[in-house]
Structures are given as C-alpha cells and as structure tokens.
Structure 1
Amino acid sequence: MLRGWWPTIQNSLLEKVSAKYGVNPTSLKLLGGFDQNVYECKAKGNNFILKILSGTKYDISSVKQELAWMNYLFEHGLNISLPVRSVKGKFIEEMKWESEYYIVVAFEKAHGSVLADLHLADLLTVKKWGEAMGRMHHVAKLYPTSRNSLVINKEWNNNSIFTEYPPIEKKVLDKWQTYIAELQLLDKDINSYGMIHNDFHHHNFHVHEGEIILFDFGDIEKSWFAYDIAISLYHAVQTIPSYEQIRRRDFTLRFYETFMSGYTNENLLDKYWLAKIPYFLDYRQIYSYVYTSKYMNIDHSNEKVNKVFKRMKYNIEHDIPFIDFNLHIG
C-alpha cells in the first residue's frame, strides 16, 4: 500500500480535537485521506467529517481560501457539504499539541454515497458530474477579486513540487521540467483559466437521490479549466485495467462524451482547449508520479502498487500517452 508522511495521530490529540466539537473521541472513525487525517464523527444530530491538518503542510490562509470558495459555490447553486462550527462557534480551530501546530475543520457528512463501480454508473449521473464542473468553471469567471484576494492568487504552480523536486529519475525530472516550462507559456484568459477543484474524481462527491453533492476542496487552485476536466477523466479511466484496451477505450469515449454533454450545459470551452485535454492527461500522470514520490513512501513490497508505479515511470520516460486514441473533440 501507499504510506503517507503523516504519523499516526495519537489518542491524546484526538481527545483534544473532540473536545473542540463537543463529542466523545470514541465516536471518531478514521476514513483515511491522503494523509490519514480524515475522521467521521458520530454526533447526536447528523454525523460530520473532521479534518486534522498539520501546520507543516497547510497554513491558515489556505484553509480560509477553501471555505470562502465553498461558500461562494453554495451561493451560486452548487450542492456543497457545508462547514460545521465548533463548540465555540468557529469554522476553523487552531491548536498546539506536543510542540506541533494543527488546523482543524469540520464539514457536514454528505448524504448518499460515492460511485463505487464507476463503469456501471448511470450515464445521467456522469452527465450531472459534468454539469457540476461546468457550473463551477462558469461562476469562477464571476468570482470578485475583492472578495478574497488570497484565493485569486493561489496559482497552479504554488506547490513546492514545482521548485523542490523529490529524488526522481533524471528522465522523469527532465520531462517534469519541460512540462513546467510549457505550462508557463499557455494563455490564461478568463474563459480558459480560473479557480478549479483540482481533484474532482469520483471519490470526492456523493450521489444522493440523483443529485451530486461536492466535498473536499482542499486542493483548489487557479489553473486551466481543461486540466480540471482531464483530472476527472484521468481518474475515471484508471478504474479500467490498462490491459483491457478495448474496454478501456470504449469506457473512455462514453464517459467523455457523457461528461462533456453535461459540462457544456453550464460552460463552454474553445476547441483549442478541448484539444489540450490529452496533453493535460499526460501532465496529470507525471504530476501524480512526482507528487507521490515527494509526499509518500512507496511500499515496494506490495506487488500491485509497485507494478502500477513502475508502469507510470515507464510510460513517462518513453512518452507513451495516457490515451492513444482521439476523444472526438469535434
């Protein structure tokens, strides 16, 4: 399995966090998260989700950005898992524990469930998924800069992986630096570039009574709308084994066509940017490889994980595209 950098959260810290929200620490259930820091809390009312963020990786301004953006999306008609206040009425709690600094936020537990079997998903659900993203991109163009200047300044290359590279293979590093240079040259007009979710895959929303409920906005940034589309497509396609080439191709085309039929109901992208989606799929692959190399330790004893990681490396080094067929952009 993949093992995150986050150490095991101690019971004494969980007790302190629980007190902030007036719940019993025994009611906390670890859900996971990239850093193994997301918990479900059983409360007398509705259950809610707790995220315990390390101050070594997050800062208070980025969390404020996340909540401000979520509130803006909610005001513009998107179904959002809303923040929950602590006992003291705060949306953000800060604390120190054993000389470490932590930020804690809580959110309503979204009704419904994730799309566990994506290849069996109702096409109408995939269409609504696309509509939700299209709506986000449309309202991103209207986001007032005076509302929260910190959000607007959160650019695509703010992450340290763009300046402090992990110890990766030279071929991969060279290609990573090439992507960075190429991306810096792309246009950033209001119709193609703005606030994106940046992690809108099928485990970051629930489906309830036919509706999409969004959550986990911790990775929001200002980037290209076409890249946000590519992220959803990338993780959807990954659910089909790469050795099932025909099935993977058929699924990809069906998913993309359905997703975009919903997206275009809410937002339109120039064909130039739609044609860039395969490029962004390849970029997502190398980004995932570099990000994982920097922030996680790969358990090479796990044959399945090791095989996937080696295949990613091979594809990157040999310029093998994530998909090798046309998406019928039109």
Structure 2
Amino acid sequence: MEQAVELLYHKDILKEFLARYHLDSEHTLLGDFENYVYEVMREDQSFILRVTHSSHRSEEEIIGELEWVTFLQHNGANVPTVYFSSKGNWIEKQVAEDNSVFYACLFSKVKGKSVRSRDELFQDKLFASWGRETGKIHRITNRYLPTNGMRKHWHEDDLFRVELYVPDEPLVIERTKEIRTQLKELPQEDYGLIHNDVHNGNFFYDGKEIHIFDFDDACYFWHVSDIAIPLYYSCTSLFPNEGDQEEKSRFANKFITSFMEGYMDEMSPPKDWMELLSLFLKVRDVTLYAALNKKIAPENRNVKILRWMDQIKHRIEQCISIVTINQ
C-alpha cells in the first residue's frame, strides 16, 4: 500500500466498518497491496471484508464490480456472494482526514483451499478446472448488461502510463508505448469484461472445481488476457530465476494444453489466442512493473523484490515474454 494511504488509515476506520456489517471485532489481515483485505467473523462464520481507498477505485467502479460478481454468482459461476451492510448498502463509506474516502464491502469466503505452485495438486486436473471456470465466466458475461456502476476499459488504467512511476526509465516507457499501440490495433473481437487477475492466489480449489475471488482488477479487455495471466504467474512462481528456459517452456506447453481443454468445455477459444499470448504476457510485465513501482516504496523493497523487478525490466526492455509456447 502507498505510504500516503497508510498514514490516513487507522484502527477506528476498521472498527466502524466491522460494526456496520455486524461483524465480530476479531479480524485477520490477509493482504494490503492494493486493498486492505481481512478475514472476519460473525457467529462463527467466516467472511472477507475489503477496504479500498478512493485513490485506487471510485465508488462507481466498486459498484460495477459488485454488480458483475452478483450476476456471475446468480448464473452459476463459482464466485463469492456479496453481502449488504446493516443499513442495506453494498458499500459503506468513511471520509478520511484529507477528505478522501475509504470504502468497505463484504464477501463470502469461497469453498476449498489455496493451492501453491509447489503443491502436489498443482497438476493437469487443476489446470483444466482453472481453464473451465475462466471459460464459464467469459461465457456467462456475454449475457451481462450493466445497469449500475462501471468498470474501466484497459486504456484508462494508470498502470499503462508507466511514466508516472518510472519517469527515469526511458526504454521501459518507450516499450510500453509500443505495446499500447499494438493493443489499440487489435480488432474488438473476443473483448469484454474480464477478471484480469486469475492467478492461483485468487482462487480456492475443492478438489474438483476452482472458486474465484478478488475481482478488483476487473476491466474491459481481451479474453486472451485471462489465459495469459494464469500462465504468467505459474511460470513466475515455479521458475523465479531466469535459468532453464527450456524447462519453463516445457511446463508452459503442458499447462496451456490442460488449461485450454478445460476452457473449451465452456467457451470457444479467442480468435488467434495462441499468436496473441506473447503480447499479453508482455502486457502483464508492463502493468506489474508499474504496480510494483507504484505500491512499494524503494526503501521497502527487499532483495527478492528487487531481483524480480530487475527481471521484469529486462524483459520489457528486450521485448521478450516470460516464456515461449511451442505448440
């Protein structure tokens, strides 16, 4: 979380949000990179409370997310339930000292458990389920017509304006502009509202199906991004060093074969998805590099983060993607 937001956020804000949703005072912080995310309780039942600062999302954007997630849930997708506060609101608000706003919303805790990339379950069966649920969300969303709120189109995302966060890295800025140009030249086909962050940290697995959560990055973008991102983060976690590219490529081919078999159980694959994978893997490098520079102050970057950022920067500057698919 940015330091400016941390200075505004204090325990009384959280205490008030807990009260407005009739939640117990006990809470566990699960994450604080872009939002403050807590596991909370009410009468021995677990929920997920998310607190968002207005510098990250507007109220209208959050409403757009919650409306879409509710539509998905009502139409059979494995996603959280959105709950109302004691006042009957999806979103509760508190004004900070500088007149900015903190927003809170409450979700169910989805079924299953987390699966790490080194776990035994991280195999073909899981990859197929991963693709199947992603395809299901794309299929259901083809019938979705928003009525309240909004979600941004990709080009409105500040993470594509990397010059805001690395003004002294001209080659990164130039490469990002080139990628933006390539995206703008793509046909508006297989394009729509997508999750845009379906990595294994954002779902639980019940042994048969995955249950996806954290729709905070949802935006209008090409469907192939939801294929590239699972591949990207799987390779990132399994191959943290830029060593054995051949081994990484073998894994990537295995992963994408199972993932797409599952995807095609629910949805026809995006046109030219294989050819577009490399571009969208590069897109993730750009947006992640911007996010890391935006969210983590230089003095808070440990050796692991610095090495990771150097790897991403190198790929951006050299116009290469994290892995090559050889199918």
TM-score (normalizing by structure 1): 0.89
Q: Deviations over 1:65-88 (max 9, x none)?
A: 001111111122111111122222
Aligned counterpart for 1:203 among listed residues 201, 204, 212: 201
Q: Is the 8 Å Cα contact of residues 37 and 51 (structure 2) preserved in structure 1?
A: yes
1:227 partner letter: S
Provide, for residues 120-144 of structure 1, a one-character-per-residue CA deviation record: whole Å limited to 9, x for no partner: 3142221111001111112222223
What is aligned with 1:229? 227
**CA deviation map 1:245-287 (0-9, x unaligned):** 3432222111111101000111112552331111211221122
CA contact (8 A) 2:35 2:51 kept: no
Query: 1: CA distance between counterparts of 2:254 and 2:136?
Result: 21
State the alpha-carbon separation in 1 of the partners of residues 285 and 140 from structure 2: 28
Higher mean C-alpha displacement, 126-135 vs 109-118: 109-118
**1:76 equivalenced with 2:75 (yes/no):** yes
Q: Specify the alignment match of 2:143 in structure 1.
A: 142
**Paired residue type of 1:291:** A
5 Å-filtered alignment, 1:151-300, equals 151=150, 154-163=152-161, 165-168=164-167, 169-189=169-189, 192-241=190-239, 242-299=242-299
Structure 1 position 174, deviation (Å): 0.4
**Contact kept in structure 2, 1:94 and 1:102, CA below 8 Å:** yes
CA–CA distance in 2 between the matches of 1:125 and 1:315? Answer: 29
Residues 248 and 59 of structure 1, relative CA distance in 2, 3 Å threshold: same
- In structure 2, relative to structure 1, the CA distance for the partners of 1:87 and 1:290 (3 Å cut) is same
Which residue pairs with 1:94 in the alignment? 93
- In structure 2, what is the Cα distance between the partners aligned to 1:30 and 1:291? 21
Q: Contact 2:62 / 2:149 at 8 angstroms: preserved in 1?
A: no
Offset at residue 317 of structure 1 (A): 1.3
Tell me if structure 2 keeps the 8 A contact 1:231–1:284. yes
1:57 matches 2:56: yes
**Could you tell me which amino acid in structure 1 is paired with residue 93 of structure 2?**
E
Q: Cα deviations across residues 125-173 of structure 1 (Å, max 9, x unaligned)? A: 21111001111112222223xx42754x631111123456323400000
How many Å separate the matches in 2 of 1:206 and 1:269?
24
**Preserved contact between residue 63 and residue 148 of structure 2 (Cα < 8 Å):** no
CA distance, structure 2, for counterparts of residue 24 and residue 196 of structure 1: 33
- Residue 126 of structure 2 is matched in structure 1 by 125
1:30·1:36 contact (CA, 8 Å) conserved in 2?
no
> C-alpha offsets along residues 182-219 of structure 1, whole Å, 9 cap, x if unaligned?
21111003xx1111101111011111242211111111
TM-score (norm 2): 0.90
SS of residue paired to 2:199: coil
CA–CA distance in 1 between the matches of 2:160 and 2:221?
Answer: 14
Partners of 1:83 and 1:300 in 2: how far apart? 34
Q: Percent identity?
A: 27
Counterpart Cα distance in 2 of 1:23 and 1:150: 26
Question: Which structure 1 residue ranges, 5 or more long, are not aligned?
Answer: none
Decide whether the 8 Å contact of 1:299 with 1:306 is kept in 2: no
CA RMSD of aligned residues (A): 2.1
Give the Cα–Cα distance (whole angstroms) in 1 for the partners of residues 276 and 268 of structure 2: 14
Report how far residue 36 of structure 1 moved: 5.4
* Structure 2 match to 1:310: 310
Unaligned ranges ≥5, structure 2: none
- Alignment check: 8 A CA contact 2:67 2:148 kept: no
Relative to 1, partners in 2 of residues 1:234 and 1:24: Cα closer, same or farther, differing over 3 Å?
Answer: same
Q: 3-state DSSP class of the match of 2:6?
A: coil
Counterpart code for 2:254: R
Number of aligned residue pairs: give it: 319
CA shift in 2, pair 1:274/1:142, >3 Å: farther
CA displacement at 1:24 relative to structure 2: 3.6
Deviates more, 1:208-217 or 1:291-300: 291-300
List per-residue Cα deviations over 1:85-104 (Å, max 9, x = no partner).
22223221112243441110
The whole-number CA distance in structure 2 between the counterparts of 1:42 and 1:281 is: 38
Q: 1:269 to 1:23 in 2, by over 3 A?
A: closer
Deviation at 1:34, TM superposition (A): 1.8
